[in-house]
């Protein structure tokens, strides 16, 4: 993806600053360098619906490569540095450079797998099942994850309150089903 970075420019966004608004011309795709960006829409009743949280390393608005306008709004939730990639230049790279196109397909395939696992996980009812699912799908083959964010961020990823996550982790540690050492969570093989 170095080729992609060579055509990027970096911009800094303040907390709560809009990256783009729904309906604006879709001119760029983006990658978070530092910070956090939320993509959202509003329901028919006017409630905000969070579609995606982008953290350091995450790309967003990739669908703009096939659209004339953005279909959601993106807002920096913290002070954020973001790479901007001109959509026309990315499309040209995809057409003219098969190695880049294959790397892009691989990256999108990985993201698709992560999103499918996330949907599957959110459909699990018991909180402990969500934790185990997360460790198995996002971690090392034996179910170990090194957390890069806070437990509060993990609770958002798992679709549960912080309190529920803290209580669940404590119960799972007490029962011996998981182990927590520093910022690592690991399934204990029985």
Q: What is the pLDDT of residues 122-149, one digit of tens each?
A: 899 999 999 999 999 988 878 899 988 7
Residue bearing tokens 């800094």: 12
Q: Tell me if 32 sits within 8 A of 75, measured CB to CB.
A: no
- Listed as ranges, residues in the chain with pLDDT below 70 are 1, 190
Two tokens at 54? 């982008």
Sheet holding 73-76, edge to edge: 18-20, 73-76, 36-42, 48-55
Question: H or E segment at 34?
Answer: strand 28-34
End-to-end C-alpha distance for the chain, whole angstroms: 41
Two tokens at 11? 């911009």
Reading phi first (left if > 0) and then psi (alpha if -120 to 50, else beta), residue 46 is in left
Read off the DSSP letter of residue 19. Answer: E
Spatial separation of the C-alpha atoms in residues 104 and 83, rounded to whole Å: 16
Two tokens at 69? 């306008």
Residue bearing tokens 């309906």: 23
- φ/ψ of residue 5, rounded to 5: -65, -25
Spatial separation of the C-alpha atoms in residues 144 and 149, rounded to whole Å: 15
Q: Which of 111, 105, 187, 112 is nearest to 145 (CA)?
A: 187
Spatial separation of the C-alpha atoms in residues 38 and 1, rounded to whole Å: 23
């Amino acid at each position: 993806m170095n080729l992609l970075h060579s055509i990027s420019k970096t911009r800094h966004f303040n907390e709560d600053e809009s990256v783009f608004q729904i309906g604006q011309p879709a001119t760029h795709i983006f990658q978070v360098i530092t910070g956090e960006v939320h993509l959202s829409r509003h329901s028919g009743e006017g409630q905000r619906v969070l579609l995606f949280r982008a953290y350091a390393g995450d790309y967003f608005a990739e669908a703009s490569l096939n659209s004339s306008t953005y279909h959601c709004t993106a807002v920096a939730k913290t002070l954020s540095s973001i790479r901007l990639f001109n959509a026309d230049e990315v499309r040209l790279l995809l057409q003219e450079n098969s190695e880049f196109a294959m790397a892009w397909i691989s990256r999108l395939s990985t993201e698709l797998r992560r999103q499918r696992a996330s949907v599957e996980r959110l459909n699990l009812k018991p909180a402990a099942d969500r934790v185990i699912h997360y460790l198995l799908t996002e971690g090392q083959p034996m179910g170990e994850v090194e957390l890069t964010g806070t437990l509060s961020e993990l609770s958002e990823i798992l679709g549960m309150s912080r309190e529920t996550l803290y209580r669940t982790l404590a119960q799972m540690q007490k029962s011996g089903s998981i182990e927590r050492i520093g910022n690592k969570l690991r399934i204990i093989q029985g």
